[in-house]
């Protein structure tokens, strides 16, 4: 029987074959950037892309067997920024960034889940780095994948965590942030690396 890890890696292989391949974020992206290898079990595979690519990415996901998605977060009423899909045991999360005044921006208008028994904190936005999708591809266990930039990985996790939208970071997630900072930004403090949070009107 194929394990979940093997099925996820097979999904990564199929993602890499798409034209154009979707940029990865999240745990697999961190493994690719930091270790060039899968270092631990993962719950899902995560993509991040601009809103203008939403139709393309949904079509690609459907080709991979993810035909339906639930909206778990909105950038504005009726505009998803966080979509969740399943194909058997496989889970795929889609993150959608908006393009505002020439910048890529993550808008967290509303989240459709609870944190500590309360509605998840929302109502803010922050800009992504200019190099979010321009970093060279990397290999993970010999597979060449497209991954968002190290600063994007750092600021996505740290920025959302600063607002408590997904609850406190785990020890593993904190370790990943520390490793990204040590590897790619050794001369910058945690405060300098945090994105500037703006409240939504």
Residue 104's nearest CA partner among 75, 137, 71, 83 is: 75
Per-residue pLDDT of the chain (201 residues; tens, 9 = 90+): 899 999 999 999 999 999 999 999 999 999 999 999 999 999 999 999 999 999 999 999 999 999 999 999 999 999 999 999 999 999 999 999 999 999 999 999 999 999 999 999 999 999 999 999 999 999 999 999 999 999 999 999 999 999 999 999 999 999 999 999 999 999 999 999 999 999 998
Sign of CA dihedral 30, 35, 38, 42: negative
The H or E element spanning position 59 is helix 54-63
Residue 47 bridge partners (DSSP): 24, 94
pLDDT of residue 201: 81
pLDDT of residue 182: 97
pLDDT of residue 176: 95
Residue 196, classified by CB atoms within 10 Å of its CB into exposed (0-12), middle (13-18) or buried (19+), is: exposed
The H or E element spanning position 75 is strand 69-76
Question: β-pairing, 79-87 with 90-100?
Answer: antiparallel
Q: How many domains does the chain have?
A: 1
Residue 125 bridge partners (DSSP): 107, 198
pLDDT of residue 43: 96
Indicate which CATH number applies to the domain containing 142.
3.30.460.40
Domain that holds residue 119: 4-199
Give the C-alpha separation, 159 to 177, whole Å: 11
How many C-beta atoms surround the C-beta of residue 201 within 10 A?
Answer: 5
The H or E element spanning position 11 is helix 4-17
pLDDT of residue 53: 98
């Amino acid at each position: 029987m194929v394990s979940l890890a093997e099925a996820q890696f097979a999904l990564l292989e199929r993602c890499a074959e798409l034209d154009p391949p979707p940029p990865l974020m999240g745990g697999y992206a961190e493994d690719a950037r930091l270790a060039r290898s899968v270092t631990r079990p993962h719950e899902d595979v995560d993509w991040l892309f601009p809103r203008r690519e939403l139709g393309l990415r949904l079509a690609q996901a459907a080709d991979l067997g993810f035909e339906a998605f639930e909206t778990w977060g909105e950038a504005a009423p009726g505009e998803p920024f966080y979509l969740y899909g399943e194909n058997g045991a496989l889970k795929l999360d889609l993150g959608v960034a908006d393009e505002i005044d020439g910048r890529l921006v993550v808008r967290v208008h509303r989240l459709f889940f609870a944190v500590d028994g309360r509605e998840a904190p929302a109502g803010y936005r922050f800009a992504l780095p200019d190099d979010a999708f321009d970093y060279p591809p990397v290999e993970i266990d010999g597979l060449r994948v497209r991954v968002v930039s190290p600063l994007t990985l750092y600021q996505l996790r740290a920025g959302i965590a600063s607002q408590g939208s997904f609850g406190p970071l785990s020890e593993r997630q904190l370790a990943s942030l520390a490793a990204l900072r040590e590897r790619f930004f050794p001369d910058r403090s945690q405060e300098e690396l945090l994105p500037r949070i703006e409240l939504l009107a």
